[in-house]
Amino acid sequence: MRPLVYLYTFVAVAALLLWAGAGALERADGLPGTGAIIVYNWGDYIDPDVLRRFEEETRIRVIYQTFDSNEAMLAKIRQGGTPFDVAVPSEYTVSRMIAEDLLIPLDHAKLPNLKNIDPLFLNLPFDPGNRYSVPYFWGTVGIAYNKDALGDGAIRGWNDLWDPDYRDSVLLIDGVREVMGMGLNSLGHSLNDTDLEHLTAAKAKLDALTPNVRAIVGDEIKFLLANEEAPIGVVWSGDAAEVIDENDAFDYVIPEEGTNLWFDTFVIPKTATNVDGAHAFINFMLDAEVAAQNTEYVRYSTPNREALAYLPPEITEDQRFYPDAETLRRLEVYRDLGRTMLSTYSELYLEFKMHRK
């Protein structure tokens, strides 16, 4: 009998949740000031108090879901099962989503706060004229390391990570472009390389890093580093800023061989049912004071020029997270390499991950 009792309880709870979910989705249509929106964002990538303020000021309820990679987000949006109103892809995924006709063009008249964005971050090649996307945060991929444990200046670039002294010391963020990119950059190749020989060589180079790799992890990487579970982490810049806030033994370097410069953006997928509410949300997030509050919480770099005035100089003048033009020039932005090439990257990355076991 017990398994059946469990089954009935499960079915009853699932039905209740579905009913509650359907109710929420029903309320998702309508004008700003009514209904709800479903926002699909990276984990740990918004100040919950900002969400609360948006709900309070607009009376639009936010149903919030998270993802941990562009690839996971894209798969879910393609599948179309959830009526997401706002999503947060990085630039190369914006290009892919445009190519696959997955996005609704933005109505700039409903985004007056777009004027707050630094023109440096507008009209970029992945979305000319910002027809489909507006900047949220930007950053780099680099190396956070414990300078007290390894010595100040011990790490300068990707190739330092292969030092046999760093056995079992390196945490990697779980991202196909990030990890394959590290292999490619360490060999002097482009992050957008499509030459199979170069990709195979990058994968072989990554395999050789295996003895030094402690783990490949998600957002928890910043807690593991701050708690000194490992002295080295390949991370997105904002996570490094948070680690350094928590533990000043850490430093962050932009690798000398070059690395990725990325831009995360707000888009409205074609799955949206509350397009007005989605615009209201994006415009709210572009408000200078809201963006400053969110930046202080999230710790990534803001493209909102007007927000900078609300932020302390310790944040805005930190060259590790707001690098100068000369440093930026040697960085590379991921391009959409097409579905087939991305599958090749993913297969090689998966093989590298399996090889570790």
Q: CB nearer to ligand SPD: give 139 or 277.
A: 139
Long-range contacts of 73-76 (CB under 8 A, 24+ apart): 73/40, 76/40
Question: Could you tell me where the beta strands, DSSP code E, fall in the chain?
Answer: 36-42, 61-67, 86-87, 134-146, 170-173, 213-217, 232-236, 250-253, 261-266
Q: Which amino acid is at 40?
A: Y
Stretch of 14-22, 29-37, 42-50, 245-253 lying at the interface with ligand SPD (CB under 6 A) = 42-50
Least Å distance between CB 192 and ligand SPD?
A: 13
262 lies in the site for ligand SPD, by CB under 6 A: yes
Q: CB nearer to ligand SPD: give 91 or 287.
A: 91
Site string for ligand SPD, 148-177 (x = CB under 6 A): ------------------------------
Estimate to the nearest angstrom the gap between the alpha carbon of 291 and the chain centroid: 17
Q: How many other CB atoms are found less than 10 A from the CB of residue 47?
A: 15
How many residues bind ligand SPD, per CB under 6 A? 9
Under a CB-based contact definition with an 8 Å cutoff, are residues 61 and 36 in contact?
A: yes
302 lies in the site for ligand SPD, by CB under 6 A: no
Per CB under 6 A, the list member of 40, 45, 281, 284 interacting with ligand SPD is 45
Per CB under 6 A, the list member of 236, 281, 284, 352 interacting with ligand SPD is 236
Least Å distance between CB 137 and ligand SPD?
A: 7
Q: How many other CB atoms are found less than 10 A from the CB of residue 110?
A: 15
Select from 159, 165, 98, 177 the least CA-distant residue to 130. Answer: 98
Site string for ligand SPD, 204-223 (x = CB under 6 A): ---------------x----
CA distance 296 to 47: 9
Per CB under 6 A, the list member of 193, 251, 264, 276 interacting with ligand SPD is 264
42 lies in the site for ligand SPD, by CB under 6 A: yes
Q: CB nearer to ligand SPD: give 42 or 132.
A: 42
Strands ordered across the beta sheet of 36-42? 61-67, 36-42, 86-87
CA distance 330 to 317: 20
CA distance 136 to 283: 11
Least Å distance between CB 2 and ligand SPD?
A: 41
Restricted to residues 85-104, the positions that interact with ligand SPD (CB under 6 A) are 90
Q: Burial code of 76-91, b = ≥16 C-beta within 10 A, e = fewer?
A: bbeeeeebbbbbbbbb
Per CB under 6 A, the list member of 27, 34, 44, 198 interacting with ligand SPD is 44
Least Å distance between CB 175 and ligand SPD?
A: 7
Under a CB-based contact definition with an 8 Å cutoff, are residues 243 and 236 in contact?
A: no
Binding-site ranges for ligand SPD (CB under 6 A): 42-45, 90, 219, 236, 262, 264
